Amino acid sequence: MKQVLKLRNLKVIFPTNYGIIRAVESVDLDIHERECVALVGESGCGKSVTSQSVMRLIDSPPAITRVDTLEFDGRDIKDYTPKQMQEIRGKEMGMIFQDALTSLNPVMTCGKQIDEMYIRHQGLSKEEAREHTVKALELVGLPEPRKRANSFPHELSGGMRQRVLLAMAFACLPKLLIADEPTTALDVTIQAQVLSMLRNMQRGCGTALLLVTHDLSVVSAIADTVYVMYAGKIVEKAPVRELFSTPHHPYTVGLMSAVPRLSDTERVFTQIPGTVPHPTQKPSGCYFHPRCQYATAECKKEMPPLKTIDSNREVRCHHPLSIRGVSHA
Amino acid sequence: MKKKLPIHHGMARGIEKRLKNTGLFIKRIWSHKQGKIGLTMVGFLVVVAIFAPYIAPFNPYDVAERTTKGLPPSSKHLLGTTINTGQDIFSMLVYGTRVSLIVGVTSGICIAIVGSILGVAAGYIGGLVDSLVMRIVDIMLVIPTLPLVIVLTNVLGRDYWTIILIFVALGWTGLARTIRSLVLVLKNSNYVKAAELAGASRWHIMIRHILPGTSHLLIMSTALSSAGIMVAEAGLSFLGLGDPTAISWGKMLAEAQRGGALLFGAWWWILTPGIGIFLAVFSFMRLGIVMEEIMNPRMQRSSGVYKVFKNLNSAYVEEVFNSMDDYAKIGVTPAFEHGKGEVTHETGLKA
Amino acid sequence: MHKDVKNRTPILSMRNVSVNFPVKGGLPFIKKGVIQAVSDVSLTIKRGETFGIVGESGCGKTTLGNAMIGMVRPTSGEVIFNGKNLYALSREEFKTTRRAMQMIFQDPFSSLNPRFNVYQIISEPMFIRGEDDDETMKERVVELLELVGLSADDLYRYPSDFSGGQRQRLGIARSIILNPSFLVCDEPVSALDVSIHAQILNLLNTIQQQMKLTYVFISHNLAVVKNMCDSMAVMYLGKIMESGSSERIFKNPLHPYTQALLSVVLDTVVEKERELVVLKGDIPSPINPPSGCRFWQRCPQAMQGCKTIPPESIEIEEDHFVACHLVNGFPDVELPSNYDQLVAEKPTRTHSMH
């Protein structure tokens, strides 16, 4: 299958008065056509910085970025000028962020904003663009699309706005869509709608999806491959079902156990002790070792490399686990 | 339960922290590009105002020290003397600082006090109090200020304390409105709700939660309104409505005009008070604007970052980047001990 | 696991409580409409249990929580706390009674005054209630800090020095300093990272056991509610759709809305592709709620009569109440004169047995 995104060795730091923030430490990503890749981690783990770096949206002050390979659809975009990037963004690389209200222009109607995508990237006339817009809004499930096209963003509810963003993002049939916490601010049933919409559109248009989130239930709903990040590093990569049935990294295990589930029977929730390390003061050796119940002296001394297991799984751990299911005993 | 002022609680520590905060605040103003200018100038003016008798070579109030009228600038009279009374203009400039600063700052502070009390009351208590205060604000905005000032000075007398009173009475409205908007937002904070839930009286909440929340706005407004008042005072004095006994820059301008400075080409007499007014207003405004920028959180971040970038040690940065690589990538194979790994695969970790 | 609360005495009950807020129009004194935040809600909370209220935005759960502790006066209906009608008490009695009730807020960042230090924040309720002595307050605050997993060193620190989870602990400490007996937790973990949820929830459970508290736990996350709560109520647009023992409800969710909420929750076994129950449409505004059953517009199993006849809450099995025509069958009501015509219009079921 064709590879839409190839990222190798991304490193991003933010120098500050308090020290150097090591936001992203040597991250590799592979995304193929029609694939949905999820980048999972808690806040501060570097996943948003990673996704923005893919779009080259991280500015050089305040950050310093290094990357070995950044190939999009076979083209090396590592050294693209801002103008070249602008050509790609919106047209071939789409994005949706968490807060639709700030992503949409509040003084333009939604329809006009989507029209612009067609006019600018596909060279359509205003009337043609409007026809496409109405069809796109219909596709994302907005009731009365022609009427809604003339509404302003603040007149619509959160779920509707997110759908407008979806319509805008898919307007030009991008090869890659980057969604950063697209459903976090939404109500649970609306989340279900948006997720299912996302999945359908993605499969239908053949778009690859990079989903950045901290919510494992979102991941299990629509992801194909999952990368788990902790303190700037990828600690595990696996296809979604295998990740949930046999997680290898203690952090992944902890993350999944910490999420209360319907099948829990005990009232005591499993907790991961300690807290996420401060981005300027990371522990020696493996970043997770202070919180890991399986840590050994080796873990304290050396950072484990990312090793490949079973051809499509990777783990960064000196003593990866293989537990059949996640027990809550 | 006896009623008491909700102040003492944890106060010693509170004061300590407040002083530390003030110190930090001043430091932050100083490190701002224009903060240095504002702070120095205001400081300078304050020093001049306090030590006026020592700085000014002559005492313009002392009739005995008046000399030849209409002298141009010389080494004895740095800015010459006035045409009508023979006072040393430089000394008048120095003494004028006192009037401007006292009137300006006192009014600014009093406006802050009145405006905040009424603004907080209107915003937090709402209802009748709110309607009443806002109606008064609306009425006062409609009344033309200058005629009112003229009438009031005629009725109440023309010494500076009356003038200050008038300024405060007319000037509190704008601040009250701004504070009220802020209070409406603060009112809905969860910590206010938590206090209400614990049974706090309205008084308690207003003094301990709401008022401190407006403090940054008050400080900034004090600086800015002081600037505005200084201009207004100069204008009043120019029109002859100010205190006839005091030496103020506005009055200097009026006298310069009446005394025929232009006619006689005594530019030093006209320019001096003008520059004085300009400097005072400029410095207070600068200070106020800098304070506003500092308190606006978005402004803080950008200035710090560029400084850090300038001073970056590139060798250290390289080291940081290199430390992020996995050993395998730079060709060094790690020495693994056969640990608890139960995974069997080709890479060598044995069960 | 779940406590058996059937035979305990009730600590709070609500009878036909409705809370309406007027929507002000442009001109004063002219109402544009009414927000029906809570409509005709009746429930009973037993002493020592954890009662969950589940729902999405606009369902009225926060308003309900506020009405329970005296923060919002109901437009109609009664709130009975410890046998007394809360809103009918004199001012003095009201103040005294409310001392036993407290709340934990959702957002750990806005629920603590950033200008106060930890000591001031936590001791404030004591201070408000008349405590004078610095030493007494300090002792108590340190006691509570240790209870919630922080330390005496944090006494004079400021909220900005703490993480979200730690701030929530501070909020918890503040809410229990007066030894309340009734605590409303309004989405206490929703704003926190997932891995911190467990810590806070465990803390809440520990405190409940130690201090014999009754909790009302408001959340939109059913997985959390399942394990925290003994009884629960599922709300939608101001009305209770399903309520009762949470064990029963989770074993046998009957209301279509409850079923939809459940399908979105993470489960361990990911063997086949998860079937999300996707409801159509958006959550309607509580200003003009739909007629009949408030959920009919989005209900995948709506029937003709659901549009006009509001369902009653019927006890389907012991301690399990459902308000749904699909489950309960239509009540015997006087049929409208054009009933036959309505039936003829759409070929759907008009009557069904569960």
In this structure, what CATH number is given to the domain that contains residue A135? 3.40.50.300
Flag whether the ipTM exceeds 0.90: no
Contact B275, B234 (CB under 8 A): no
As a whole number of angstroms, the distance between CA C231 and CA C44 comes to: 10
**How many residues can be counted in chain C?**
354
B304 interface with C at CB cutoff 8 Å: no
> Is B337 close to A309, i.e. CB distance below 8 A?
no
**Starting at the edge strand that comes first in sequence, how are the strands of the sheet with A307-309 ordered?**
A93-96, A176-180, A208-213, A36-40, A225-230, A233-239, A313-315, A307-309
This prediction has a pTM of 0.77
Radius of gyration in angstroms for the set of CA atoms belonging to chain A, rounded to a whole number: 21
The per-residue pLDDT for B348 is: 27
B130: domain CATH number? 1.10.3720.10
Q: What angle do CA C112, C114, C116 make, to 5 degrees?
A: 85
> Is C262 close to A244, i.e. CB distance below 8 A?
no
pLDDT tens profile B307-335: 666 667 777 778 878 888 775 443 332 22
Q: Given pLDDT bands bounded at 50, 70 and 90, which one contains residue B157?
A: confident
The per-residue pLDDT for B73 is: 78
Q: Express the helix, strand and coil content of chain A in percent, nearest 5 each.
A: 35, 25, 40
> Is C283 close to A263, i.e. CB distance below 8 A?
no
The per-residue pLDDT for A261 is: 67
SS3 A123: coil
pLDDT tens profile B2-37: 344 444 455 555 566 667 666 777 777 777 777 788
Tokens of C93: 């009695």
Q: Given pLDDT bands bounded at 50, 70 and 90, which one contains residue C340?
A: low
Greatest CA separation for chain C: 78
As a whole number of angstroms, the distance between CA C316 and CA C354 comes to: 9
Q: A116-155 burial, b for 16+ CB within 10 Å, e for fewer? A: bbbbebeebeeeebbebbbebbebbbbeebeebbebebee
The per-residue pLDDT for A154 is: 82
Rounded to a whole number, what is the distance in angstroms from the first to the last CA of chain A? 42
Q: At C42, give phi and psi (nearest 5°).
A: -125, 130
> Is A255 close to C195, i.e. CB distance below 8 A?
yes
Q: How many domains is chain A built from?
A: 1
Going by their DSSP bridges, the two strands A208-213 and A3-16 should be labelled as unpaired
Contact A10, A56 (CB under 8 A): no
* Alpha helix segments (H runs only) across C105-245: 118-128, 134-147, 164-176, 194-211, 222-228
As a whole number of angstroms, the distance between CA B13 and CA B185 comes to: 28
> How high does pLDDT run on average in chain C?
83
A176 within some domain: yes
Bridge partner residues of C84 (DSSP): C81
As a whole number of angstroms, the distance between CA A13 and CA C341 comes to: 71
The per-residue pLDDT for C341 is: 66
Percentage, residues of chain C above pLDDT 90: 24
Tokens of B67: 């000399």
Cα–Cα nearest to B258, from B84, B21, B109: B84
As a whole number of angstroms, the distance between CA C342 and CA B51 comes to: 94
Going by their DSSP bridges, the two strands C31-46 and C182-186 should be labelled as unpaired
B10 interface with C at CB cutoff 8 Å: yes
Number of cross-chain residue pairs from A and C with Cβ atoms under 8 Å apart? 128
Tokens of C132: 């004078």
Return the C-alpha torsion angle C38, C44, C50, C54, nearest 10. Answer: -30
B193 interface with C at CB cutoff 8 Å: yes
> Is C198 close to A258, i.e. CB distance below 8 A?
yes
> Is A302 close to B334, i.e. CB distance below 8 A?
yes
Which residue reads 């030009």 in tokens?
A172
Interface of B with A (CB under 8 A): 304-306, 308-309, 312, 316-317, 320-321, 324-329, 334, 336-337, 339-343, 345, 347, 349
Q: Given pLDDT bands bounded at 50, 70 and 90, which one contains residue C44?
A: very high
Q: Given pLDDT bands bounded at 50, 70 and 90, which one contains residue B40?
A: confident
Nearest chain C residue (CA) to B2: C130
Range(s) of the domain holding residue B272 = 39-63+77-296
B304 within some domain: no
The per-residue pLDDT for A268 is: 67
Q: Given pLDDT bands bounded at 50, 70 and 90, which one contains residue B268?
A: confident
DSSP state of C279: -
The per-residue pLDDT for C333 is: 60
The mean pLDDT of B243-254, rounded to a whole number, is 83
Going by their DSSP bridges, the two strands A75-76 and A93-96 should be labelled as unpaired
Strand spans (E) along chain C:
10-24, 31-46, 50-54, 76-81, 84-85, 101-104, 182-186, 214-219, 231-236, 239-245, 314-317, 320-322
CA distance to A225, A294, B220, C92, per residue, from B36 (Å): 55, 55, 16, 56
- What is the identity of the amino acid at C221? N
A329 interface with C at CB cutoff 8 Å: no
> How high does pLDDT run on average in chain B?
77
User: Which residues of chain C make contact with B218, given a CB cutoff of 8 A?
Assistant: none
B21 within some domain: no
A231 within some domain: no
Nearest chain C residue (CA) to A199: C276
Chain B contact probe: residue of C29, C91, C115 with most B CBs at under 10 A: C115
Q: What number of CA atoms fall less than 13 Å from residue B338's CA on the CB side?
A: 6
* Between C302 and C29, residue with greater pLDDT: C302
What is the distance in angstroms between the Cα of C270 and the nearest Cα belonging to chain B?
Answer: 22
pLDDT tens profile C203-219: 999 999 999 999 999 98
Q: How many domains is chain B built from?
A: 1
Q: With a cut of 80, say whether residue C114 has pLDDT above it.
A: yes
Q: H-helix or E-strand containing A32?
A: strand A19-32
Cα–Cα nearest to B281, from B14, B101, B33, B58: B101
Contact C352, C305 (CB under 8 A): no
A263 within some domain: no
Range(s) of the domain holding residue A162 = 3-223
SS3 A106: coil
A213 within some domain: yes
Query: Nearest Cβ partner of C98 from B191, B199, B209?
Result: B199
A51 within some domain: yes
DSSP state of B58: S
User: Which residues of chain B make contact with C156, given a CB cutoff of 8 A?
Assistant: 13
C264 interface with A at CB cutoff 8 Å: yes
Query: Nearest Cβ partner of C198 from A143, A269, A325?
Result: A269
The per-residue pLDDT for C354 is: 30
Q: With a cut of 50, say whether residue B341 has pLDDT above it.
A: no
> Is C113 close to B189, i.e. CB distance below 8 A?
yes
B115 within some domain: yes
Q: With a cut of 50, say whether residue B299 has pLDDT above it.
A: no
Cα–Cα nearest to C258, from A262, A123, B242, A73: A262
C165 interface with A at CB cutoff 8 Å: yes
User: Which residues of chain B make contact with C112, given a CB cutoff of 8 A?
Assistant: 191
SS3 C235: strand
As a whole number of angstroms, the distance between CA A228 and CA A244 comes to: 12
SS3 C213: coil
As a whole number of angstroms, the distance between CA A164 and CA A166 comes to: 5
* Between C217 and B53, residue with greater pLDDT: C217
Q: What angle do CA A23, B332, A5 make, to 5 degrees?
A: 45
Nearest chain C residue (CA) to B11: C120
pLDDT tens profile C216-275: 999 888 878 888 899 999 999 889 999 999 888 888 888 999 988 887 776 644 444 556
CATH code: domain C10-100+180-280 is: 3.40.50.300
Q: Given pLDDT bands bounded at 50, 70 and 90, which one contains residue C77?
A: very high
Nearest chain A residue (CA) to B313: A15
Tokens of A205: 């248009």
Low-confidence ranges of chain A (pLDDT < 50): 323-329
Chain B contact probe: residue of C128, C137, C186 with most B CBs at under 10 A: C128
User: Which residues of chain C make contact with A220, given a CB cutoff of 8 A?
Assistant: 266, 270, 274
* Between C74 and A214, residue with greater pLDDT: C74
Residues 6+ apart with CB under 8 A from B136: B173
